[in-house]
Amino acid sequence: MEQAVAVQAPHALGVRGLVLKYGGVTALAGVDLVVPSGAVVGLIGPNGSGKSSFINVVSGAYRGPYSGEVAIDGRDVRSVPAYSRADAGLSRIFQGIRLFDTLSVEQNILLGAHSRYRSGYLASVLRTRRARAERDEQRQRARAIMATFGDRLLPRADDQVMSLSYANRRRVEIARALMPEPRLLLLDEPMAGMNPHETEELTDHLLDLNRTAGTSMLLVEHKMGVISDLCSDVYVLDSGTVIAHGTAAEVQADDSVIEAFLG
Amino acid sequence: MTTFTTTTPGVDRRGLRGLLPRGARAITSTSIWGAVLLVVLLVPVLQLPPIFSAALLLTIIYIPAAVGQNLIIGNAGLLAMGQAAFVGVGAYTAGILAVRFEVDGSIAILAAVLLSAGVGALVGIPALRISGDYLFIVSLGFNLIVMDVARNWVDVTGGATGLTGIPTLTLFGMDMGVGQTFYFSVLVMVLVSLVVVQAITSSRFGLTMEAIRDDEAAAIASGIRPAGPKVQFFAIGSALAGLSGALLAYNLGYVGSGSFDVSDSLLIFQMAVIGGLGRITGSILGAFIIILLPELLRPLQDYRLLLAGLVIVILMILRPEGILGKAKITNLIKK
Amino acid sequence: MEFFATQLLNGLTSGVVYAMLAVGYSLVYGILQQINFAHGYVYMFGAFTTAAFITGGAPLPIAIGGGIAVGVIIIIIVERFAYRPVRGNRLAPTVTAVGVGLIIENVARLIWGSQIRPLPFPLQNEIIDLGPFVISPLQIVVGAVGVLMAAGLWFITAKTNIGRAMRAVKDDLPTAELMGIPVNRVVVFVYVLGAIFGVIGGILYGAYYNTISVTMGFAGTLNAFTATVIGGIGSVWGAFAGGLLLGVVQSMVTGYVSSALLNTVTFVLLVGFLLLRPTGIAGTKVANRL
């Protein structure tokens, strides 16, 4: 599957021959998946298909052995621990929203930029000139990102995120994930728990994001409507293998896909 | 212990002020600090009975230890206790240096703080792999060990009889005596430590620690490596306890192995919890409640521990974050 | 050889006591995932009550029964008013338990003072000479009681309805509730069972060593906890084995090396197992065993 293009941005995510086994179970049996730079790619599959395992390998949460290649922004991340993957260009949001609950909206978002700071902890305590300059720079970026959500987040910048609505909490999580200008944004069921109106709003937001900033995304979702609206390319996973790959329309019409979901 | 850098004035804050009616919310953190400062500065002037001023001095001496405990449990979210062990390390270090080596107070206290920090960091490293539930029993067990060492290492610590004859505090050559000058020296050192703590907790470093506490997985996904801040906060919390210990040594003129027991650890723990996790002012309040209040209410002296236990039980039901603590913090601590 | 045998027997005896404590503790932790910090304090209070009864002239069965009854009453009150209201929170129950421990310890202190006291018990001064070494009939009693109680516990948990209910609560509390299991009652039962084991352990301890003090509360919790970790959380047989191992190792080290090392031994075992083999001797939880 060599691409014969010389001068092109590396794939946001390139997975080749990923095999994952543990406890006698083969969670992933040779998965090939590519998120081209600037694309939004979907990953769907019934429960137990291996989606979570896949995400855990890509995010680094899974620390065990696996075979195959996993490359983010063209760089193999096998030896990159989970806390360094943000540096490698990966940002993610979690199934079930994980925020820093006792902190404010702004503080949550600022923390997303952690990997971008050159000045260290000591500098931040001593409030050196460079630390202060970086802080101001990141605060400006945070405000800019919050502004893209209209009046949802900015007026609530100092509120504890705990007090926010579910949809707003999701928006904060996305804003936080965007702070380090990620090469790959991994979205794990971002629309779960949202009503149709909120889903539509968030879908538009993500489309906009992809169009203007060119942010590459891997979207794991159950709502096919969202997948069709957002994804140029869809992979279908079942029992650890990719059983279909194509556009949303193609994949939806595929017999083996229908059977996997219904059977 | 963060101060939210507000750009929107009048934003609803958490903590005790959340309970107050709108008008009263103008009372900010600054006024609490101001009131406390006023009180502690005026006290020597007021010529209060020695028992009271002695109790006040003891309270102020224990504030760093309580704040340190708060940093570990409240800010870092590590359920580690046994602070009294580090108070002991600090006390013995300062005491030994002062008595045996006749070292200036500034050096003795600095050494106490650094050694406590070092031991704290050493303890913090294995603590990374021991999860919440177990950590607190292990830390109390560590407390017991330190006590055993203190009791048995007779050559160094004086064993069960302890270390006597600690001279009065000399700072940079000047003798601070036992009266007002000593009181103010202690006050200044404690205030400096509080300023340092505030600088830490309101910085990006402090915020990062809180993020790790609130959700370690999300912190890791944001590129944060949890181990570093955890060990560092362990060290800082222990260093503060060491400071309390050093000041205690100079205050009493004596260091005995009985003062750094598990029950003392539990008392310090209560100061942090009752006063409020996640806020410095909470630990100050906690120290006042645990040490000073029983002094003021003399008949309560004997029942102090009993009442503290009762207060804790009731508090956990009604307001688990403590009087001045950060909302919902107790739902996030524990692995 | 004689010294070795003596130390071994001593260790096994204290080991049985630790086992009793550990079993009581492990039950609660295994089923409710709550660290019952107050466990050791209840055991101490029960032992003191029994001592008070004995020195007051009451017959032995009444004294023992009284001690157990008091322990049970305490834990019922504690569970109802201190633990149950904070069951949902994650940190609060641990903190509450510390508060409860303090309350119990200081009530005991107020009633009985801080002095070490004896616990007079029959057979304390008797010895059976077995040639190469001596054994105390009390040691045999302690051992027998321990084994009987463990067997009884196994029977309850494996063969009775309440035992099944306990296992259901352990596996999934909300589901057990939905299935109509009276969760609150099961929880109380578990705590009560734990307290009974603990108090009997305390009485045995006091009887064997003929000393009790209010400070044995925390030591009791620490030993129970360590034995549980050694044996494996959630396994009753593991807790038993852990207790025995702890007792023997303590006895050997204090006998052959130094008596000052008692706490250090416990601590080293605790941390060692936590870091190197957190699942304990018993390994991972066996599905239907407690």
**Phi and psi at residue B170, in whole multiples of 5°?**
-115, 125
d(CA B277, CA B271): 9
Contact C89 B137 (CB under 8 A): no
Pairing assessment for the beta strands A233-238 and C134-135 based on DSSP bridges = unpaired
Give me the residues of chain B with pLDDT under 70, please: 1-33, 43-47, 333-335
Could you tell me which chain B residue has the CA closest to the CA of C100?
B309
Please tell me the pTM assigned to this model: 0.87
**Phi and psi at residue B23, in whole multiples of 5°?**
-60, -40
Amino acid at B179: G
DSSP assignment letter at B186: H
Report if residue B172 sits inside a domain.
Answer: yes
Torsion of CA B154, C260, B237, C271, to 10 degrees: 150
Of B136, B141, B310, the CB nearest to C267: B141
**Confidence (pLDDT) at A4:** 56
Amino acid at C284: T
**Confidence (pLDDT) at C281:** 76
N residues, chain B: 335
Could you tell me which chain C residue has the CA closest to the CA of B77?
C91
**Confidence (pLDDT) at A100:** 95
CATH fold for domain A1-89+182-263: Rossmann fold (3.40.50)
SS3 C90: coil
**Confidence (pLDDT) at A7:** 60
- The most distant pair of C-alpha atoms in chain B lies apart, rounded to whole Å, by 61
What tens digit of pLDDT does each residue of C44-101 get? 999 999 988 888 888 888 989 999 999 999 999 999 999 888 887 777 888 888 889 8
**Confidence (pLDDT) at C23:** 85
Pairing assessment for the beta strands A75-76 and A67-72 based on DSSP bridges = antiparallel
Contact B200 A61 (CB under 8 A): no
Residues near C283 by beta carbon (within 8 Å), at least 6 away in sequence: C232
**Six-digit token string for A253:** 């019409």
**Residue B305 or residue A84, greater confidence:** A84
d(CA C138, CA C143): 8
Mutate to test the interface with B, among C95, C216, C258 (most CBs of B within 10 A): C95
CB B210 within 8 A of CB B3: no
Of B145, B263, B270, the CB nearest to C264: B145
Give B91-108 as a DSSP string: HHHHHHHHHHS---HHHH
**Residue A86 or residue C288, greater confidence:** A86
Domains in chain C with CATH codes: 8-122+132-276 (1.10.3470.10)
Interface of C with B (CB under 8 A): 33, 35, 81-82, 85-86, 89-96, 98-103, 105-107, 110, 218, 221-222, 225-226, 229, 260-261, 263-264, 266-267, 270-271, 274-275
Taking Cα atoms as reference points, which of C125, C141, C124, C120 lies closest to residue C52? C120
Helix B83-100, helix B50-70: angle, nearest 10: 120
Chains that contact B by 3+ CB pairs under 8 Å? A, C
**Confidence (pLDDT) at C283:** 63
First to last CA, chain C: 37
**Residue A1 pLDDT class (50, 70, 90 cuts):** low
Amino acid at B17: R
Specify the DSSP element, H or E, that contains A52: helix A51-59
**Six-digit token string for A161:** 């995120």
CB B89 within 8 A of CB B302: no
Amino acid at A72: I
Q: Which residues pair with A21 in a beta bridge?
A: A26
Report if residue B118 sits inside a domain.
Answer: yes
**Six-digit token string for A109:** 């978002």
**pLDDT above 90: residue A184:** yes
d(CA C50, CA C63): 5
The reply to whether B14 touches chain C by the CB within 8 Å rule is no
Q: Write out the residue range of the structural domain in which residue B73 sits.
A: 57-260
Of B130, B308, B320, the CB nearest to C89: B320
Q: Which residues pair with A33 in a beta bridge?
A: A15
Report if residue B76 sits inside a domain.
Answer: yes
**Six-digit token string for C224:** 């129970």
The dihedral region occupied by A34, where left means phi > 0, alpha psi between -120 and 50, and beta the remainder, is beta
Average pLDDT score over chain A: 91
Residue where the block lists tokens 């050196």: A128
**Confidence (pLDDT) at B201:** 94
**Six-digit token string for A54:** 């896949």
Number of independent structural domains in chain B: 1
N residues, chain A: 263
Mutate to test the interface with B, among A58, A83, A99, A132 (most CBs of B within 10 A): A83
**Six-digit token string for C17:** 């006591």
Chains that contact C by 3+ CB pairs under 8 Å? B
Could you give the count of Cα atoms lying within 13 Å of A141 in the half-sphere of its Cβ?
Answer: 20
CB A216 within 8 A of CB A36: yes
Taking Cα atoms as reference points, which of A214, A234, A216 lies closest to residue A225? A234
Q: Between the CA of residue B97 and those of B65, B92, B164, B250, what are the distances in Å?
A: 21, 8, 12, 11
d(CA A224, CA A210): 19
Contact B79 C94 (CB under 8 A): yes
d(CA B185, CA B179): 10
What tens digit of pLDDT does each residue of A89-148 get? 999 999 889 999 999 999 999 999 999 999 999 999 999 999 999 999 999 999 999 999
d(CA B80, CA B132): 8
Residue B99, min C-alpha distance to chain C (Å): 27
Torsion of CA A90, A96, A101, A105, to 10 degrees: 60
Alpha helices in A63-117 (DSSP H): 105-111
Environment class of residue B90 by beta-carbon count within 10 Å: exposed (0-12), middle (13-18) or buried (19+)? buried
* A61 contact residues in B (CB cutoff 8 A): 217, 220
Environment class of residue C203 by beta-carbon count within 10 Å: exposed (0-12), middle (13-18) or buried (19+)? buried
First to last CA, chain A: 31
DSSP assignment letter at B203: S
Q: In what order do the strands lie in the sheet with A40-44?
A: A90-93, A184-188, A216-220, A40-44, A233-238, A241-246
d(CA B6, CA A123): 22
What tens digit of pLDDT does each residue of A5-32 get? 556 778 999 999 999 998 788 899 999 9
d(CA C241, CA C282): 9
Specify the DSSP element, H or E, that contains A43: strand A40-44
d(CA C77, CA A94): 42
**Confidence (pLDDT) at B200:** 95
Chains A and C touch (3+ CB pairs under 8 A): no
The reply to whether A99 touches chain B by the CB within 8 Å rule is yes
**Confidence (pLDDT) at B15:** 37
Contact B302 C229 (CB under 8 A): no
Residue where the block lists tokens 């590590």: B78
Residues near B192 by beta carbon (within 8 Å), at least 6 away in sequence: none
Q: Which residues pair with B123 in a beta bridge?
A: none
Q: Between the CA of residue B225 and those of A202, B1, B166, C135, C161, what are the distances in Å?
A: 30, 21, 43, 57, 48
d(CA C210, CA A207): 78
Helices (H) and strands (E) in chain C, counts: 11, 2
Domain(s) of CATH 3.40.50.300: residues in chain A: 1-89+182-263
**Six-digit token string for B128:** 């990374």
Report if residue B165 sits inside a domain.
Answer: yes
The reply to whether A103 touches chain B by the CB within 8 Å rule is yes
d(CA A249, CA A252): 5
Could you give the count of Cα atoms lying within 13 Å of A169 in the half-sphere of its Cβ?
Answer: 20
| Per-residue pLDDT tens digits of chain C, which is 290 residues long | 678 888 888 888 889 888 888 888 888 887 777 778 888 889 899 999 998 888 888 888 898 999 999 999 999 999 999 988 888 777 788 888 888 988 998 899 889 888 888 888 877 777 777 777 778 888 888 888 888 888 888 888 778 888 888 778 777 777 877 888 888 888 888 899 889 988 998 888 888 888 888 878 888 888 888 998 888 876 777 888 899 999 999 988 888 888 777 888 888 888 888 888 877 776 654 332 22
**Phi and psi at residue C125, in whole multiples of 5°?**
-105, 10
Contact A102 B219 (CB under 8 A): no
Give A167-236 as a DSSP string: HHHHHHHHHHHHTT--SEEEEESTTTT--HHHHHHHHHHHHHHHHHH--EEEEE-S-HHHHHHH-SEEEE
Q: Which residues pair with B174 in a beta bridge?
A: B171
Distance, C-alpha C202 to centroid of its chain: 7
Residue B251, min C-alpha distance to chain C (Å): 27
Distance, C-alpha A1 to centroid of its chain: 24
